[in-house]
Amino acid sequence: MDTPKENENIIELHIKPETMTDEELEGIYAYADKRKRITWTQEELETLKKGIKKFGKGKWKEILEFYKDDFRPERRMKDLCDKYRCVENGPTGAKHPHKFFWEVDNESNPICVNGEKVLYKCKHPHQAARYCAFSKSFKENVNIIIRIAYEENEKLWIHIYVARYNNGSAKRKSINVRKLAGQSPYRRDGM
């Protein structure tokens, strides 16, 4: 278990949304391209089940190395872990209740329209950020910082997103929303 001093060091590594300006957040808007989804075959699923029976749950490296000829070459240990979690737990969307989210400014004050804060009823903060982004007026190739807040366990939790309007010729016009930073009561370091 982390001591309080070690825990302070862990927290300092994360972005503190309440102290970041929009310009500082723009500077960290960099992300890796997402890997394309690799569909699972029935044979791979059976191999995963055999591997779990033989090596046990959590021994993803051993399972992947032992059955490397039975899995696709692109498979990673994380893929095995995720697939096992999905098979065991089923879909996770039903476990998350709807919450009320709202947009806040740099000082964590709610942004109000006509004197009332606009509430977004969603399961996840990313959905609320998308709804919020669609309500704003965009210029092409301009990033807009969106801070979404919600209350849980009598504390305010903030997630920061950047929204960008895309006017692609090959695809339809859309708004992309990417997460920059966030806080959650479920993380061990409390950020």
Of 92, 107, 127, which one is at a domain's C-terminal end?
92
**Same-domain status, 148 and 63:** no
Closest CA to 181 of 12, 28, 34, 32: 28
**Residue 161 carries which side chain, given as an amino acid letter?**
Y
Domain annotation covers residue 114 = yes
pLDDT (0 to 100) of residue 105: 87
**Same-domain status, 100 and 85:** no
Per the structure, the count of domains in the chain is 2
**Same-domain status, 146 and 52:** no
**Same-domain status, 73 and 102:** no
Per-residue pLDDT band for 9 (boundaries 50, 70, 90) equals very low
**Same-domain status, 176 and 83:** no
Q: What is the mean pLDDT of the chain?
A: 78
Instruction: Report, in angstroms and rounded to the nearest whole number, the Rg of the chain calculated over CA atoms.
Output: 21
CATH number, position 46 = 1.10.10
Q: Cα–Cα distances in Å, from 45 out to 24, 28, 70, 90?
A: 44, 38, 10, 15
**Same-domain status, 15 and 74:** no
**Same-domain status, 29 and 104:** yes
**Same-domain status, 147 and 172:** yes
Q: Cα–Cα distances in Å, from 91 out to 4, 58, 94?
A: 36, 20, 7
Domain annotation covers residue 60 = yes
pLDDT digits (tens, 9 = 90+) for 166-185: 766 555 567 788 888 887 77
- DSSP secondary structure string for all residues of 110-133: BPEETTEEPPEEESSHHHHHHHHH
Mean pLDDT of 91-104: 78
**Same-domain status, 19 and 99:** yes
**Residue 5 carries which side chain, given as an amino acid letter?**
K
Domain annotation covers residue 27 = yes
Per-residue pLDDT band for 12 (boundaries 50, 70, 90) equals very low
Q: Cα–Cα distances in Å, from 76 out to 54, 71, 81, 148?
A: 19, 9, 9, 33
Per-residue pLDDT band for 75 (boundaries 50, 70, 90) equals very high
Domain annotation covers residue 82 = yes
pLDDT (0 to 100) of residue 53: 93
**Same-domain status, 115 and 171:** yes
Per-residue pLDDT band for 47 (boundaries 50, 70, 90) equals very high
Domain annotation covers residue 191 = no
Which percentage of the chain shows pLDDT scores above 70?
A: 71
**189 pLDDT above the threshold of 70:** no
pLDDT (0 to 100) of residue 6: 45
Domain annotation covers residue 190 = no
The residue that leads in pLDDT, 82 or 33, is: 82
**Same-domain status, 73 and 152:** no
**Same-domain status, 150 and 111:** yes
Domain hosting 115: range is 4-33+94-182
Q: Cα–Cα distances in Å, from 29 out to 1, 11, 183?
A: 33, 20, 18
pLDDT digits (tens, 9 = 90+) for 136-174: 876 667 788 889 998 888 888 888 888 887 766 555 567
